[in-house]
Structure 1
Amino acid sequence: MRKILLLLSCMLLVFAPALYAQVHPVNGKILDENGSPVPFASVKIKGTNSGTFADAKGIFTIPLKEGAVLVVSGIGYIPLQVTVNSNELAITLKTDVQSLNEVVVTGLGEATSRKRVPLDIGTLNAKNIAKTATVSIEQGLQGQIAGAQITQNNGQPGSGYNIILRGINNLISSDPMVLVDGVENKDLSSIDPSIVDHIEVAKGAAAGMLYGAQGANGVIQIFTKKGSRNQRPNITFATKMSSDKILRGDRSLVASKHHWKTDEQGNILNSEGDILKADANGYWEDPVEDLDVDASNDKPYLLPTYDHLKQGYRDALTFTNSLSITGGGNNFDYAFTGSRLDQQDVFSNKFNRTSLGVNLGIELAKGLTIRSSTQAILGFDDLLGGNRFNLVNSYPFIDFLHKDTTGMIVRKAKNENQLNSLSERQWHDRNNKSTKIYQNFNVNYKFPKFVELDFKYGYNVRNADNYSFYHNQESAVTTELYWGPSIDGAITDYYTRNTYQNALTSLFFRTDFKQDFHLNVPIRTTTQAVYDWRAEDNRFFYAQGVGLPTFPPYNLTVANTKTVSDNNSSGYNYSTRTFGFLVNQSIDFAEWIGISGGFRSDYSSEFGAGSKATTFPRGTIYIRPSEFMKLSWLSDWKLRGAFATAGTPPDVYTRQVTLDAGTLGVGGVSLSIPSTAHNNDLKIQVSKELEVGTDISVLPTTGDWLSRITLGATYWKRKSTDAIQVADVAQSTGASGLISNLTTLSSHGVDLSLDITTANKKNFIWNTAVRWGFTKTMVDKVSNHQTVVSGEFGLKEGEELGIFYGQSPLHSLDQLKVDGKTPYIDPADRSNYTLVNGNVVDTRTNAAKLTAADDLKKIGQAYPDFTASLINTFTIFQAFTVSFQFDWTHGNNTYNLTRQWMYRDKISRDYDDVINVNGKSGAYAAYYSSMYNTLQPQSWYVEDGSFIRLRDVSLTYDATRLIHARWLKRLSVTLGGRNLLTFTKYHGLDPETTTSVDSQGSSLDGVGAFKGVDYFTVPNLKSYQVGINVGF
């Protein structure tokens, strides 16, 4: 018996390792650093192609041998190798800071690894937003997305931004679609930057069509901060103060000397021959011009002169404060946010915004989650008009802060039909109160296999109450000009209520042939079907009372004349409805290759109930050669391509005949047709876009320097047909123009994004990012092949979009007229002309000679050849972080309309410049005055608008280690500056803040020009900032 037992024991010892090495099930749970599950993480057996995926709760089961090694990875986490030594595993993955941008949401909410995204999607995380970008999300996006041109309209608070993501797609608007947590939102500028978790930008139609017919201009998606499950409350408080002042360029706008008639002592004379001086109320007559052709602008001012920019703009302060509380339990998470922005205006007024947010997520049952996101934004401003035309375009000896005999600031300071804008705040009170509520709901259910259902609903309400009160000005010293519609005062109330709804119902059907069907084929498929419904309603009401008493109370009741309206230049009522269907099928073979294809069909109320759907197809492909090559230095390499068609619908009611209503006599009603006729044959503007590109990440060294280089490169081309434009029509039609589909545009460009881990040492980390984008849009066709001229711009077949079009000085003595035969200067008369700095000048008058009014040509280009950014971030001793960002815009021109207006009054700084005419030198006023050309577009005022700007610089010190307290998680102090340096040849105040207006400041539409003209625009602000961030 003992021998038998001994034999069995020996056999057990011999076979025990073999028995132990048999396959047995291993259960595991994958969590992040906060204890929250990492859903759908990949679990692979090292050295094999076998593996599995975790479920939505991070749980997995896999058959393994003891001692096997698992490679666990999740999107956005550092891969981890785990040696199996038990049947139950608890695995914690750390966030991979290097790959935070590696997850994007394509389509309508489908999270996908960037390695398998076949489109060029720009991404920006909250941690990478410039420290000085605290006022708006657009500030944070500037320079961060390759190819995107994002410029602030002007330096006033709340002025908004001009955004061009990928060239010009149509002639009416370049505005992209904005989504917040997957639901469309109409107001990007009002969203508080402190609630942003990350941002994704789909730049063109190839990606934008997934979001509806309105996505042809591209899409900006905002993802708000959320809490984390099983996390204790995390409290963060941030405060920042900024000192702001306008950018002023590197030279004065105004000449330092003059050429007016003077007496023997050098005193400027008036038309009566007396010494020029102001009257008791600060009013100045015009000086008398010296009409001698040799009059030189070299006389010094003996009068006191004033810095009108200093009088018109003050230094302003901006304060931002924000508080967030995030956390969660076993099956829920929460995020509470609040912020306050108080921004002084450089015009002595103010703007403030209070934002409150709640983001709650709950898992009601296995696979069933509900999320609610609420944002309430309360705004107030008392901003007055920012027009500084009268100040900038005035004689330097005028004191615009002069008090008249009644103690009020001078209203009319010179002989011109212009009021002193600094006097407005004494006669005009206004305020705008706004309330904005953004409510998003999301219900998501993941079936145990295959099917996922997702429903999103957004309800946005925006109310604006604008009050304007012009005091009775009959007691003012100057009464021929007054503020407001009447000298006896007026009260105006505007009220606007806009509601926008967006409902998205999505079904995803996913299969994994290997996991679901036990086939040895690594194919994964996703079928996506979406129903998208949108509704917008706008309610506008206006009431005005004119003729107020000189004593309170001031209200509409006491006004002499009362007017009400719900349709005028300030607003109107409208309702629109759209709905559509998206179907998309994607197939991925392992991690090697993937294709997708689908279509979207949309219906719009603009086309009526019986209209047909507009259907747009799409297709994408990606190939990852790095999966075949398996090179140690090649981290990832992807080739990608995409094609799509997208559309831009006509504006509201432009396909319907509408009438304007007014009053007629007493109790009567008048009807009239609009000056621009609508067109029921209008079609959707269609864009067809192809993009091809590559994303590659290499590991040049295994050391601390140049450890990773990542490049994204994209070439794209697009054709836009049936672009909507206003066509001239015969006066007999009763309209000045007809809205029609008239123009065809073609565009192409290249976008490059380069990210380098320059150094990654224990006490020194250096990251570099470069963004570069080139785009060109050509006008292929204009109806009837006519050149359309609007303001300073021309729309001409065969030329680039956004050209300046006008006259120019003659540049040769034998230059021919527009007929190509007749010379401008008779050969017999050419001895009286010479060239001065390349311009033909009459030596008898010192005046330049210009081309004829019918001889118009391209004289400049508003859009740049390319834009680029250089961003560097240094972390030193794990405590100091230094970052700076340079933005470069190159190859564009700016039409300096401000300078042209200053030529009218002969006060431009140019008048100080000495020229040589046929051997005689002087700052000849006749030469410069001849360039004025009665404000018609002229090449003399087209300047190089290129610039390099130090957009952002900051120094952050992490002081957490200085305070040893368990309750303190972080404490940091930041010093920063924005727009501190600008390198440019431009002679105006700021080459960046330009607009699209004519010589009188009226907005231009229909020529595809959205910027390029400097018309007394409020410049950008130079800011110095200090901020503190505390975490508990």
Structure 2
Amino acid sequence: MRNLLTPMLTLLAGLLLYGSATAQTRLTGRVTDPSGEPIPNATIREKGTRHGTSANERGVFTLTVSSERAILVITAVGYDAIEEPVRGRPSVTVQLNLDTHTLSDVVVTGVGVATSKKKVAIDVASVSAQDFAKSATSDIGSALIGQIAGAQIQQTTGSPNSSVNIILRGINTINNGPGPIILVDGIKVSDINGIDPAIVDHVEVVKGAAAGMLYGSEGANGAIQIFTKRGARNSRMAVTVSSKLSLDNVLTGKRPLNAGFHHYVTDAQGYVLDATGNRLTHDAVGYWPDPVEEDYNSNPSVTNSEPFVGLPLYNHLKQAYQQASTYTNAVNILGGGDKTDYSFTASRLDQQSIFGNKYNRTNMTLNLGLQLAKGLTFRTNTQGIFGYDDLLNGNRFGLINTYPWIDFTWRDSIGNLVLKPKNENQLNSLSERQWHQHYNKSYRVLQDVGLNYKFRRFLELDYKIGVDFNITDAYDYYLNQDGTLQSDLFWGPSREGSVTDQYTLYTKVNSLATAFLRVDFDKDLKLHIPLKSTTQFAYDYWSTNERYYYAEGTSLPPFQPANINLATNKTSGDYAEARTSYGLLLNETLDYANLFGVSGGFRSDYSSEFGDAHTPFTFPRGTVYFRPSELMHSTEVTDWKLRAAYGSAGTPPTGAYDRQVTLNTATLGGGVSLTLPTTASNPELKVQRTYELEIGTDLTLAPAKGPWLSSLTLSGSYWQHKSKDVIQIAQVAPSSGYGGTDDNLVDLSSKGVDLSLDAFVANMRNFSWTLGVRFGKAATTLDKVSNGKDVITGEFISRQGQQLGTFYGQEPLHSIGQLEADGKTPYISPSQAANYTLVNGNVVNTTTYQGMVTNAADLKVMGHALPKYTASLINRFTVLKRLALSVQFDMVHGNSIYNITRQWLYRDRLSKDFDQPVTIAGKTGAFVAYYNSYYNSTSPISWFIEDGSFIRLRDVSLTYTLDPSWLGHTRFVRSLALTVGGRNLLTFTKYHGLDPENTGSDSNNNFNLGVDDFGIPNMKSYQFGLTAGF
């Protein structure tokens, strides 16, 4: 019996295995867009199972399904999902239609939870990393320039590792920068700088207080949220490797800064003479005496028209700046299993500076997601950012504000670069590298952990905690310079040298617990009402701690290396500060089908920085949207939404202890003394509040059915906001011992328009064209100032009732009969009027050739630092399926620049202006007395105000993706793309400086915008890149 049973069981098992094998079907297929182009990385899964895969670069996939009756679900970013029955076919071709309803269907920032853009009542801009300018190699801020309507993002310097200035919808404060808060996957971090662009999936931006209410006392200036790349479940490992080289040269403007002729005393042969009557030459240590100038005061007909004879002339811009190279290399690995997804990215940035120094940064990121149980997910994201630089002082003004015959690369008899090349207390900045060694090491870790649980119905719980941990270790060493041949100037605090060690430890912690209660009145409550309710409650806690230590030694021995122990004088010190804030958020949203929705809520914040630390500051918000397209049923108007929002958010005080009494310490003999700080504390200091109203519309049209202009999306917003309780330093009685006190004394108001247009201009088999236009207009007015008095910052004034960023100063007289500020007294007596004439619209004395200017009490509006509008034009073309061209032009229009660089060149009569001839009293020449009369070292004058408008070719890139068939039959390499491009290749401007963007570098002073004080210009770059997928 047993002998008979064994073969029967074997036969039965074989039949079962055969039946199982024959039930499964191996399927191949291809996913394309409407023009027949493949859609790489489309996700294909069998409905009702865990079987799934993704398409390769050719849109091809292979999948084993459970039966011939299986149904495939195909999805891809930017396309409508479809279901495709197999019906026993061995292969299928699936076409996905473009999702024309929105370019980015779901947003999070400003609404707190992933929400369809159809139902968002605020303006949320979303930028995919695929749309980043190919030339933005090193930082996210640069990649966002020109991409967001209404965002004024300015690269003010070409120095490596420099941040961009970001102003979203006007200015809300006066004492600290107007930057938005930065979030990474929902967690606040200290800075956008250093975060690797290679890890970014997309970026969302909300621009004002109406959306910023969710972020409470830090949300008035908007928010930028970075969403990092994630893997996909049930997908094979995909590896992407990229490498890029950038050749960078400094922008040098259209016109030389310095004069090409001179007005100095010469001998009979035209050689320039010194004060002793000898021909000009340098001495044995490289020092040049000053030339003797013709006396243009006693002889106003002296012109700046003599050629340089017998003197070597040098291009000081070429001596100041050199070509630099930037190398960027990155690898990204992503994929996922049944219940996991992962993304690992490693990158390296090596960036030379135009001064011969370097900056490098290594980034390593791991983003890991796990499904722990049904409805329960866990995610951890770890970023390590490690930086090093040996950057030195980038000030090269001394090379420009000098005589053209000085060679700053000249070395003396012992091989040292000249320290002091002329009779001025000014060092040769090229010599700094010989005597100054510096390095700065930074170690930054961004760690966030999240846990999310979705109950079967109604409730979702989410918890995130993140830490931004940053260590900076700086070393500064000035060598002993006793052996130099020039003894009157030296680098550093002491001629005998110094060494300084600095160490900073900074930690920011953000903990966010959120509960969502969702009720569908139709499905959950069976009320047959298409109404959905979402209630959000959140507790947000954040704190920062900073510790700083330093030790310094001066008077070092002449040998190297030296340390603090060898110094004659030693000092040390430390500083610490801590801040803590937390807030409660309650927000309710009601959506009626897809037709309309309303929301309302508030957030209350407590903080150690403002108030009395136990009284909350509350920020309300209400929003509404209505979608007429739901009622129109039009094929041409595919989506139309009207929206409005009103909300409030805050900006905290600048200092951690502005409301608390503090004392300074100092050494006194053998003990310690306590002194009062310059600014008194204010225990009643409030948070700075901004109230914003935003009204807008989002409209998507399908103007044509063919390949031309198949989709057009327009988004527009009008906004206005008022900032109350803005902090200003108020005057106090001298007897108090303080110079002033922080108080909530200033009111500001802003208004503007944001417009954005995106269009599929052409979508054909061998040609596609997308167009993007961004436009923003904003203006901020100083409504109220303490006691109505002018705010004086350095050389500039801000006045109540005028726009913030308005330049005031003296100006040339434009009429011989012009009156003084009293409106009665003429500047020029009528009896003397015959001695004056107009030259290019300015009053000039015909005897002295000097221009006449208003007096110091008669200040005029000279211009405005902030532009009337900013705009961008972005075009992307794809030709013959594999050749992609991207071109971006940025425009800044209507702003003024105060050219302090040009003003300082007037001091020594070195400006190129002195070469320009004018006609005075019938005589024509480049009169020195005329130009010199407009130089004023103590107050601004409109003579140096220039039009700062410009149009810049921000980015151009050409990418060719190789046909996979060229790679042979290997399945290892899935894609290969070559890119050539450039950044800042063309600039159209009337500005006479090096770079119209290189202004307002002091981001902590909103009264000093639009000033060119000869910083480091931006770079013109040529780039070459290679990207491979495996």
Return the TM-score normalized by structure 1.
Answer: 0.91
Aligned residue in 2 for 1:676: 679
Q: Which residue of the other structure, out of 694, 700, 703, is the alignment partner of 2:703?
A: 700
Matched residues in 1 for 2:715 and 2:426: separation? 53
Matched residues in 2 for 1:318 and 1:913: separation? 40
Aligned residue in 1 for 2:947: 944
Residues 78 and 93, structure 1, Cα contact 8 Å, conserved in 2:
no
Residue correspondence of structure 1 range 554-703 to structure 2 within 5 A:
554-566=562-574, 572-607=575-610, 611-651=614-654, 652-665=656-669, 667-703=670-706
Structure 2 vs 1, CA of residues 549 and 217 (structure 1 numbering), >3 Å: closer, same or farther?
Answer: same
Q: Which residue of the other structure, out of 721, 726, 744, is the alignment partner of 1:723?
A: 726
Residues 77 and 93, structure 1, Cα contact 8 Å, conserved in 2:
no
Q: Which residue of the other structure, out of 233, 243, 247, is the alignment partner of 1:243?
A: 247
Matched residues in 2 for 1:504 and 1:250: separation? 52
Letter in 2 for 1:285: P
Matched residues in 1 for 2:233 and 2:675: separation? 62
Aligned residue in 2 for 1:995: 1000
Q: Does 1:985 align with 2:990?
A: yes
> Offset at 1:669?
0.8
Matched residues in 2 for 1:525 and 1:270: separation? 86
Matched residues in 1 for 2:817 and 2:796: separation? 28
Q: Which residue of the other structure, out of 256, 262, 273, is the alignment partner of 2:260?
A: 256
Matched residues in 2 for 1:490 and 1:92: separation? 71
Aligned residue in 2 for 1:56: none
Residues 793 and 1008, structure 2, Cα contact 8 Å, conserved in 1:
no
> Offset at 1:958?
0.3
- Larger CA deviation: 669-678 vs 299-308: 669-678
Secondary structure of the corresponding residue to residue 283 of structure 1: coil
Show CA shifts across 1:874-914 (max 9, x none).
00111000010000000000000000000001000000000
Q: Which residue of the other structure, out of 373, 394, 415, is the alignment partner of 1:386?
A: 394
Structure 2 vs 1, CA of residues 1010 and 230 (structure 1 numbering), >3 Å: closer, same or farther?
Answer: farther
Q: Which residue of the other structure, out of 520, 528, 532, is the alignment partner of 2:528?
A: 520
Matched residues in 1 for 2:373 and 2:93: separation? 24
Q: Which residue of the other structure, out of 213, 216, 221, is the alignment partner of 2:220?
A: 216
Structure 2 vs 1, CA of residues 772 and 607 (structure 1 numbering), >3 Å: closer, same or farther?
Answer: closer
Q: Does 1:33 align with 2:33?
A: no
Q: Which residue of the other structure, out of 141, 148, 153, is the alignment partner of 1:150?
A: 153
Aligned residue in 1 for 2:304: 297
> Offset at 1:1011?
2.6
Residues 611 and 687, structure 2, Cα contact 8 Å, conserved in 1:
no
- RMSD (Å), alpha carbons: 2.1
> Offset at 1:662?
1.1
Gaps of 5+ in 1: 1-30, 40-66, 567-571, 998-1002
Q: Which residue of the other structure, out of 453, 464, 467, is the alignment partner of 2:472?
A: 464
Residues 44 and 73, structure 2, Cα contact 8 Å, conserved in 1:
no
Secondary structure of the corresponding residue to residue 237 of structure 1: strand
Residues 798 and 1007, structure 2, Cα contact 8 Å, conserved in 1:
no
Residue identity over aligned pairs, in percent, reads: 52
Structure 2 vs 1, CA of residues 358 and 610 (structure 1 numbering), >3 Å: closer, same or farther?
Answer: closer
Aligned residue in 2 for 1:118: 121
> Offset at 1:607?
3.9
- Larger CA deviation: 601-610 vs 649-658: 601-610
Letter in 2 for 1:425: R
Show CA shifts across 1:266-302 (max 9, x none).
1111112221111122211111111121110000011
Q: Does 1:509 align with 2:494?
A: no
Aligned residue in 1 for 2:207: 203
Q: Does 1:551 align with 2:553?
A: no
> Offset at 1:681?
2.4
Show CA shifts across 1:740-760 (max 9, x none).
212111100000000011000
Secondary structure of the corresponding residue to residue 356 of structure 2: coil
Residues 791 and 937, structure 1, Cα contact 8 Å, conserved in 2:
no
Residues 33 and 93, structure 1, Cα contact 8 Å, conserved in 2:
no
Matched residues in 2 for 1:202 and 1:95: separation? 29
> Offset at 1:791?
2.8
Aligned residue in 2 for 1:1016: 1014
Letter in 2 for 1:342: D
Aligned residue in 1 for 2:276: 272
Structure 2 vs 1, CA of residues 842 and 1004 (structure 1 numbering), >3 Å: closer, same or farther?
Answer: farther
Aligned residue in 1 for 2:345: 337
Matched residues in 1 for 2:881 and 2:652: separation? 52
Q: Which residue of the other structure, out of 159, 184, 200, is the alignment partner of 1:180?
A: 184
Residue correspondence of structure 1 range 304-323 to structure 2 within 5 A:
304-323=312-331
Matched residues in 2 for 1:179 and 1:501: separation? 12
Secondary structure of the corresponding residue to residue 300 of structure 1: coil
> Offset at 1:109?
4.4
Matched residues in 1 for 2:263 and 2:451: separation? 74
Matched residues in 1 for 2:104 and 2:97: separation? 12
Q: Does 1:755 align with 2:758?
A: yes
Residues 100 and 125, structure 1, Cα contact 8 Å, conserved in 2:
no
Matched residues in 1 for 2:491 and 2:45: separation? 61
Matched residues in 2 for 1:36 and 1:502: separation? 37
> Offset at 1:738?
2.1
Residues 167 and 179, structure 2, Cα contact 8 Å, conserved in 1:
yes
Q: Does 1:80 align with 2:82?
A: yes
Residues 454 and 505, structure 1, Cα contact 8 Å, conserved in 2:
yes
> Offset at 1:552?
3.2
Residues 47 and 73, structure 2, Cα contact 8 Å, conserved in 1:
no
Matched residues in 2 for 1:821 and 1:246: separation? 51
Aligned residue in 2 for 1:49: none
Letter in 1 for 2:123: D
> Offset at 1:551?
1.2
Secondary structure of the corresponding residue to residue 515 of structure 1: coil
Residues 641 and 691, structure 1, Cα contact 8 Å, conserved in 2:
yes
Residues 44 and 75, structure 2, Cα contact 8 Å, conserved in 1:
no
Residues 111 and 211, structure 2, Cα contact 8 Å, conserved in 1:
no
Residues 36 and 228, structure 1, Cα contact 8 Å, conserved in 2:
no
Aligned residue in 2 for 1:974: 979
Letter in 2 for 1:78: D
Structure 2 vs 1, CA of residues 230 and 534 (structure 1 numbering), >3 Å: closer, same or farther?
Answer: same
Matched residues in 2 for 1:97 and 1:732: separation? 69
Aligned residue in 1 for 2:336: 328
Structure 2 vs 1, CA of residues 1027 and 829 (structure 1 numbering), >3 Å: closer, same or farther?
Answer: same
Aligned residue in 2 for 1:230: 234
Residue correspondence of structure 1 range 611-1010 to structure 2 within 5 A:
611-651=614-654, 652-665=656-669, 667-961=670-964, 962-964=966-968, 965-995=970-1000, 1005=1005, 1008-1009=1006-1007
Letter in 1 for 2:744: N
Structure 2 vs 1, CA of residues 163 and 37 (structure 1 numbering), >3 Å: closer, same or farther?
Answer: farther
Letter in 2 for 1:277: T
- Larger CA deviation: 965-974 vs 524-533: 965-974
- Larger CA deviation: 464-473 vs 1010-1019: 1010-1019
> Offset at 1:405?
2.1
Give the number of equivalent residue pairs: 958
> Offset at 1:96?
4.9
Secondary structure of the corresponding residue to residue 379 of structure 2: strand
Residues 79 and 93, structure 1, Cα contact 8 Å, conserved in 2:
no
> Offset at 1:679?
2.0
Letter in 2 for 1:924: F
> Offset at 1:691?
0.2
Letter in 2 for 1:217: N
Letter in 2 for 1:228: A
Letter in 2 for 1:300: P
Q: Does 1:366 align with 2:374?
A: yes
